[in-house]
């Protein structure tokens, strides 16, 4: 029995070795990808529900891998955060997004996701301001999306950075709102411009369940605080109707459009302005 146990331990170690090795390969490939320009941004429209027009585009990064094809950020962002590569990758995303947006109609904003590691880094505010200066994009057209986890640690320093950027005219959105433990207490501590109600609340919003009541309450809360509310992950007409009925100002989701490459976005914006 003792021997069998040891055999298992060896197998386990071998498996661990393999994972650790695969992980090292991934880390190395990610670093190379950044220096070789293998990342690209796709953009997903945010639609104003008053005018039914596209008024914003969220930048969502993808990795064009030679063998794997287009790799989802869910796979590599966590690794980039652990290795610190997110600082360089995040700076690239900010610069590319600002440059892309500078060529769009002036009423279209660009939203960029910011991870905790990035915000905490001492150069973050400077990186953002330089990206704006280099692209010529007005600060009012840049929205930074942060999740609650971003504010969990180092809260005071993080809030200070966000205040500095907000004073410069940049907008700050709270992403995935309602999924954390203290979303509400952060609303009290920081003057967000926008809250993005997490997609988990929209799933059965069209079916007169608690989710609809929660969206209604959050929209009411946002309204009384002067915060724009967006619902993300709208996939069906029924969900859109429910989101409209609750008084939400903006929507984002596959129903209108999935994230698309920049060429398709340019075409979409050109068509928008022809009609």
Binding site for Ca ion (CB under 5 A): 113, 145, 175-176
List the one residue out of 83, 101, 105 whose CA is nearest residue 93: 101
Among Ca ion, ligand C2E, none, partner that 162 touches (CB below 5 to 8 angstroms by kind):
none
Helix residue ranges per DSSP H, 103-195: 116-120, 124-135, 148-152, 155-167, 183-189
According to the binding rule CB under 6 A, does residue 253 interact with ligand C2E?
yes
According to the binding rule CB under 6 A, does residue 175 interact with ligand C2E?
yes
Pairing of strands 228-232, 260-261: unpaired
Pairing of strands 250-252, 228-232: parallel
How many residues does this entry show for the chain?
275
CB of 141 to Ca ion, least distance (A): 17
According to the binding rule CB under 6 A, does residue 93 interact with ligand C2E?
yes
CB of 271 to ligand C2E, least distance (A): 21
Q: At 181, phi and psi to the nearest 5?
A: -85, -30
According to the binding rule CB under 6 A, does residue 40 interact with ligand C2E?
no
Q: Closer to ligand C2E at the Cβ: 90 or 206?
A: 90
Give 190's Cβ-side CA count (13 Å radius): 30
According to the binding rule CB under 6 A, does residue 72 interact with ligand C2E?
yes
Residues 98-157 that bind ligand C2E (CB under 6 A): 113-115, 145
Cα–Cα distance between 206 and 245 in angstroms, integer?
10
Q: Specify the stretch interacting with ligand C2E by CB under 6 A; choose among 3-11, 17-25, 166-174, 227-235.
A: 227-235
According to the binding rule CB under 6 A, does residue 71 interact with ligand C2E?
no
DSSP conformation letters of 43-59: EEEEEETTTTEEEEEEE
Among Ca ion, ligand C2E, none, partner that 259 touches (CB below 5 to 8 angstroms by kind):
ligand C2E
Residue 112, beta-bridge partner list = 59, 144
CB of 172 to ligand C2E, least distance (A): 14
Please give the torsion angle defined by the CA atoms of residues 153, 159, 165 and 170, in that order, rounded to the nearest 10 degrees: 90
According to the binding rule CB under 6 A, does residue 57 interact with ligand C2E?
no
According to the binding rule CB under 6 A, does residue 259 interact with ligand C2E?
yes
Binding site for ligand C2E (CB under 6 A): 44, 59-61, 72-74, 77, 90, 93, 113-115, 145, 175-176, 199, 233-235, 253-254, 259
């Amino acid at each position: 029995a003792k021997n069998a146990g040891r055999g298992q331990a060896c197998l386990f170690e071998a498996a661990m070795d393999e994972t650790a090795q695969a992980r090292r390969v991934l880390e190395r490939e990610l670093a190379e990808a950044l220096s070789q320009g293998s990342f690209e941004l796709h953009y997903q429209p945010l639609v104003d529900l008053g005018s039914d027009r596209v008024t914003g585009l969220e930048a969502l990064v993808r990795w064009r891998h030679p063998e794997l094809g287009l790799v989802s950020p869910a796979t590599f962002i966590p690794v980039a955060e652990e290795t610190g590569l997110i600082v360089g990758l995040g700076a690239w995303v900010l610069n590319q997004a600002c440059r892309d947006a500078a060529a769009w109609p002036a009423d279209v904003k660009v939203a960029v996701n910011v991870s905790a590691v990035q915000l905490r880094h001492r150069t973050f505010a400077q990186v953002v301001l330089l990206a704006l200066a280099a692209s010529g994009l007005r600060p009012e057209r840049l929205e930074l999306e942060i999740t609650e986890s971003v504010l969990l640690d180092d809260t005071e320093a993080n809030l200070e950075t966000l205040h500095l950027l907000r004073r410069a005219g940049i907008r700050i959105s709270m992403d995935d709102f309602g999924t954390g433990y203290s979303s509400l207490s952060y609303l009290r501590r920081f003057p967000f411009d926008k809250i993005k109600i997490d997609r988990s609340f929209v799933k059965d919003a069209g079916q007169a369940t608690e989710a609809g009541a929660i969206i209604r309450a959050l929209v009411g809360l946002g309204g009384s605080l002067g915060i724009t509310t967006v619902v993300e992950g709208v996939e069906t007409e029924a969900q859109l109707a429910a989101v409209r009925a609750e008084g939400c100002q903006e929507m984002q989701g596959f129903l209108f459009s999935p994230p698309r490459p920049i060429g398709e976005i340019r075409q979409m914006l050109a068509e928008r302005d022809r009609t």
